[in-house]
Structure 1
Amino acid sequence: MALKVFDLECDQGHLFEGWFSSHDDYDTQQARGLLTCPLCASATITKRLSAPHLNVKHLRAPAPTSTPASSAVAPTGATSTATAAHANPAAMARLQAAVLQEIRNVIRNTENVGPRFAEEARRIHEGDADERPIRGTATPEERAALNEDGIEVMAVPDFLDDDRLQ
């Protein structure tokens, strides 16, 4: 399956990638309120302009051999995450592969409780059900309520939460 990768940003300024099966899939998930920031859980997400990585090094002028006295240097940390990722695509590919491997490990080692996720997570937290790793589906409101009650959860895109990825 070919995936569309979009650069996304939440209202808190966190940049992250979203992987979708199509533009319509992004639009549908956005309309249903299913998109949230992986760092702060904000549901106010916008798609940023992005372009495919193009190999155009041969079109660039050679770098100057001496640095003029008036050149400026950006302060440490001023480079955005997106710029850093494009600067080292091999490192980004390794990071994405590692993340996908961890998601596969989660899928392999958790019980899928489906739409009962919020209910079952609360039962486990309160000691009314056996302690075990679970996964399933929950609305943004259910995830927020769980977090408010001290029950930490992590959203995983639907296409990654598939037992076939094991």
Structure 2
Amino acid sequence: MALAFAAFFGGGVIPIILGLNLSFWPSFARMARAIALSTLKENHVEAARLAGYGGMTILRRHLLPPVLQQLSGLVALNIGVAIISISSLGFLGFGLQPPEPEWGAMISELIPYMAAAPIQLGGPCLAIFLTVSAMSALAGHFAQGTRLDA
């Protein structure tokens, strides 16, 4: 989806963001709906409803915390996917345009010099690898429910 938007609208920040958002939102919506439906069936939500709490109070106190906690792991995981997608678009020439620094475009520009100076190609590749690995580790912490300050 991001490739189609970037190619159709000529690259740039806005088409890439629109394409990535349109491709990621269904997974967030499905997960939020599944968590919300399972949370609404729990006893403490039913007790709050029977105690006379309003819908907004139940939403704020009982529904949003578990939904946001579970979605935070998906957000961290999708940030890594977005970084790889944006780098791939930059490598293909559909990403950000030359005054803007972009890892995929850097790799694309360094390909002709790979035989003479292969270490130069390692910089952007290592940056992508470390950033995506960090986002995956962060997603693992969120999925386990562990707090980062603990």
Q: TM-score when scaled to structure 1?
A: 0.25
Choose between structure 1 and 2 for higher RCO, CA contacts under 8 A separated by at least 6 residues.
Answer: 2
Q: TM-score when scaled to structure 2?
A: 0.28
Which structure: greater strand fraction? 1
